[in-house]
Amino acid sequence: MRAAVVVAVVAGACWTGPDPAVAPQPPQPPRPIELKVTMERTPCFGSCPTYKVEINGDGTVRVHTGTSSRLARVSRARVRQLEHRIEEAHFFELDESGHVPAQMQCVQNGATTTCTMHSISLCSDTSHAIITVKRGTRTHTVDDAHCSDDSWLTGLEDEIDAVAGTSAFQM
């Protein structure tokens, strides 16, 4: 019994606390979301609301109209949802008009070959939604003139409006 007490005392005297290399570290704050989304709705010939929205990865939201501005904050989860929606839309793969780039189509007429690589849409009296996404070092802008039925792009615009809360803001 005496030997057990001596061993316990000796072992206890040698203990210097937890190994600093294994000591629990304080929780690190989550990495910032490297994202900035802006959307500007332009005027039309009628009465279309005009405003500009800016959503940052830290959750800061700014809405600017011609006469006023609003500053708000959304959750990190809400910013992640928007980021996911941008990925689903393959935003960085779209052309400047918001379309999936067309494959090159070539027509041969005698000795002449003519190739077309893009499509052009023209329309009038529509409000444009100009969306710019900056993610890390990449920046891409799409100008949606609402000339075609690209529901996935309109869905992204609706998501940006929902995150920014533009329906609750007098425009």
| Structural domain boundaries in the chain | 30-102+126-171
The pTM of this model reads: 0.72
The Cα diameter of the chain in Å comes to 108
CATH code: domain 30-102+126-171 is 3.30.1560.10
pLDDT at 28 over 90: no
Exposure class string for 100-109: b at 16+ Cβ within 10 A, else e: eeeeeeeeee
- The pLDDT of residue 170 is 40
> What is the tens place of the pLDDT at every residue in 85-138?
999 989 999 988 888 776 777 888 888 887 766 556 667 778 899 999 999 999
Three-state secondary structure call for residue 29: coil
CB 134 within 8 A of CB 153: no
> What is the tens place of the pLDDT at every residue in 73-87?
999 999 999 999 999
CB 78 within 8 A of CB 59: yes
